[in-house]
Structure 1
Amino acid sequence: MRLFWLIFAACACAPAHAEPLWPNSAVNRWQAEALAQGLNAEILAARSATAVLENWCGVHRLASEARIVAEQVAAAPAKAPTAEQRQRLGVGPDEPVKYRRVRLRCGAHVLSEADNFYVPARLTPEMNRILETTDAPFGKVVKPLEPYRRTFFAQTLWSPVQTPGEAPTLTIPVNLFEHRAVLYSRDNLPFSEVDEVYQRDLLDFPPQP
């Protein structure tokens, strides 16, 4: 754990770099592992993934302004919630549930892609309007509900330590880790289910020597 925070502190001071290059060394593989798994754990423990990503963007200088926006994927086909999802959300078969697919961006960097099913009747009219007409991320829009997350599925999709490879440069895949969670209001009422896949742009900065 102490090693992770030493690496994290060193990277926090790193200058911005347009095209970071991660040489494939044991030190860099451990550094990438510590960063990815540290972020994974931080999101799992947080009330808001959006707030964690915005802080990450600022610490690692991924953009001139550390601001998360939700880019809706217009071409994504509409999805209906499954019976299991409706059960987790505590709604009947006829209760309206809306679907959004978004890319969470900080500047030019896509930090995560997410499917979001939410119950509009459990949000305020203003929250619904903002979600339908702006690029505001879901986590910020519903902040007045004082939400918290319960993660029911999490998996690591890449481990540089376990799959080092022989290429001179560390090959970082598109998908780093995935979370599926239900969001609850301060009154313990479920109102959203998300499936979030976190992206390699999270590591789009140079490693420290």
Structure 2
Amino acid sequence: MGPFNRPDRLRWQAASVLAAAPIAALAAGDVPAPPLGAPVHASPAALVADLHRRLLAGQSATATLEAWCAEHGLADTPRVRAVRVRGVQRDAPVEVRSALAIDDATPLRYRRVQLTCGQRVLSEADNWYVPSLLTAAMNHALDSSDEPFGRVVAPLDFKRQTLHDREFWPPRVDGARATVLEVRALLRDGQRRPFSYVVENYQQDILPRQTPAAGGTAPHR
């Protein structure tokens, strides 16, 4: 029988199979499942916290929002669009140019959009970016289309650095807006150069409709 008796040999074989399983799965190209999100019937505050966590963990807000829309059934087609808000122009605050490591003479472009999914406005974003660090095709797409910024600049292999983030529940009301989460982030290209500073205000409509239990409060609007 060799150095092991039969019971020891069987235990050793079982342990070897279990130890090799994760390696085999990764070798086959499987990606580990992401952490589970908030339960389907979680409270609004818990859902905001879950979305917050996902946005901080992801590199593209657009991709995170599309996955969120699909998971929570926010639209028949979970496709995020960037609806341009025309006629709005904001000079970059001092902290924006400082974060982008540029002086006052460096040209900046400004883009204000509403990120929508179906009929819902998920967020409103102010974005200042350095056009000289983008390709001509990217600048043209940003000027002439409703494509989300993250999707347009994806070839830059950018990384997202969160500068500031804060949850609001109850929502922070500002006129017609009800903001549940604010995130300020810096995007860096594959060469680590900062090229975009974005301020994102996520709206209450990003939460799924909730059906109250008997005798409960009115559903989220």
TM-score by length of 1: 0.77
Measure, in 2, the Cα distance between the counterparts of 1:6 and 1:112.
20
1:36 pairs, out of 30, 40, 48, with 48
Measure, in 2, the Cα distance between the counterparts of 1:134 and 1:103.
13
CA contact (8 A) 2:81 2:115 kept: yes
Structure 2 residues without counterparts, runs of 5 or longer:
1-34, 172-176, 214-221
Match of residue 163 from structure 2: 152
Q: 1:205 to 1:91 in 2, by over 3 A?
A: same
Which structure has the bigger radius of gyration? 2
Match of residue 86 from structure 1: 97
Match of residue 118 from structure 2: 107
1:183 pairs, out of 187, 207, 212, with 187
Query: Which residue identity is paired with 1:90?
Result: A
**Which portions of structure 1, spanning 4 or more consecutive aligned residues, are displaced by more than 4 angstroms?**
4-7
Match of residue 127 from structure 2: 116
Query: Which residue identity is paired with 2:82?
Result: A
- What RMSD over aligned residues (CA atoms) do the two structures have, in Å? 2.0
Higher RCO (Cα < 8 Å, 6 or more apart)? 1
1:52 pairs, out of 42, 51, 64, with 64
* Percent identity of equivalent pairs: 40
CA contact (8 A) 1:31 1:207 kept: no
Measure, in 1, the Cα distance between the counterparts of 2:45 and 2:90.
34
Structure 1 position 107, deviation (Å): 0.8
Measure, in 2, the Cα distance between the counterparts of 1:53 and 1:157.
18
CA contact (8 A) 2:73 2:208 kept: no
Measure, in 2, the Cα distance between the counterparts of 1:128 and 1:135.
12
How many residue pairs align between the two structures? Answer: 174
Alignment of 1:7-22 (within 5 A): 7-8=38-39, 10=40
Query: Which residue identity is paired with 2:148?
Result: P
Measure, in 1, the Cα distance between the counterparts of 2:161 and 2:53.
13
1:204 pairs, out of 183, 208, 218, with 208
Query: Which residue identity is paired with 2:116?
Result: R
Query: Which residue identity is paired with 2:60?
Result: S
Q: What secondary structure, in the 3-state scheme, does the structure 1 residue paired with 2:151 have? A: helix
